[in-house]
Amino acid sequence: MMSEYKKHYLITGGAGFIGNHLIRALLKDEDLRITIIDNFDPFYPRQIKLLNTDGFEKHQQILLLDKNLDDLSSFELQKILPQKVDVIIHLAAKAGVRPSINNPLAYQRTNVLGTQMLLDFAKESGVKQFVFASSSSVYGVNKNLPWKEEEQLQPISPYAMTKLAGEMAGHVFSSLYGIRFIALRFFTVYGPSQRPDLAIHKFVKSILKDQPITMYGDGSTSRDYTYVDDIVQGVLAAIHYDQSLFEIINLGNRYAVSLNELISNIEELVGKKAKIDQQPEQPGDVPQTFADISKAKQLLNYQPTTQLKEGLKNFYDWFQANKELLLH
């Protein structure tokens, strides 16, 4: 019964990479009821998401709904979840910069309309706290490094534009209805259970299979790689943040790593040299990302602690433990 639980969190995308790490951290609180909505999007194999959610079924406090936000209305969600929701953590999204260029409408539908539906649900159900997973991609091409939250934003992919639209929809509902909306701009998250379409996962898999890795450009592009446990700490702090009604906050590592440096680190970890298939730079990809995290430190007491070598080793250990599934 719901009365056993003091708080009820609705987490979208809870079977995904960041979502499953967040839920495992939240399970330490036995007074918490967690409802997960995830559509097990075939963007990558369902078996990997089942690996992510392994063990969830043992916890009575978790309800996992295999539902697509695209197909739900606020009214239908209220019927599914009659219990009061205290916090929404909206991680679900159609992911990926490059695929969004080929199908922008699908990204609008899921990322913009899905977010709007959840905001409608929050308004109608009296949810007071809404944590939104945004992205560093909203900054676009910007040489004012490291990026502060108040930079001028010029997204260069449909995916990035949908994340910016989500932030602005949150601002509107925060202003109109007093919903506290915290948008967290994630910077290149990696770690165990990372999605198979992302660079570190792809590179490890290709090197182990003696297949070439695709490198777009000359390897000088750089990313602020942020370990998933550090991101989770930032999300947990945002769930409890209560100082202002609307904030946009970077969650990064404040340390940019070039693609060449990343590949070198992975080669060292795996013990094999990569065969490199060099291709032109891709439309929609930004040359570099680099977070100013001073606001996160100030408002959320955010302090990333995992450096790249340690984080890569943790990913590799997870990959090796599950290689029968992951090397297919």
Give the catalytic positions in this structure.
159
Question: Within a 10 A sphere around the Cβ of 141, how many other Cβ atoms?
Answer: 11
Per-residue b or e along 230-249, where b marks 16 or more CB atoms closer than 10 Å to that residue's CB:
bbbbbbbbbbebeeeebbbb
Apex 88 CA angle, 85 and 93, nearest 5: 140
Residues in the chain: 328
Q: Which amino acid is at 293?
A: I
Distance of alpha carbon 286 from alpha carbon 212, whole angstroms: 23
- CA torsion sign, 42 to 48 to 34 to 24? negative
- Residue 285 in 3-state DSSP? coil
Dihedral Cα 291, 296, 302, 307, nearest 10 deg: 0
Task: Give the residue from 300, 7, 298 showing the smallest Cα distance to 182.
Answer: 300
Distance of alpha carbon 309 from alpha carbon 307, whole angstroms: 6
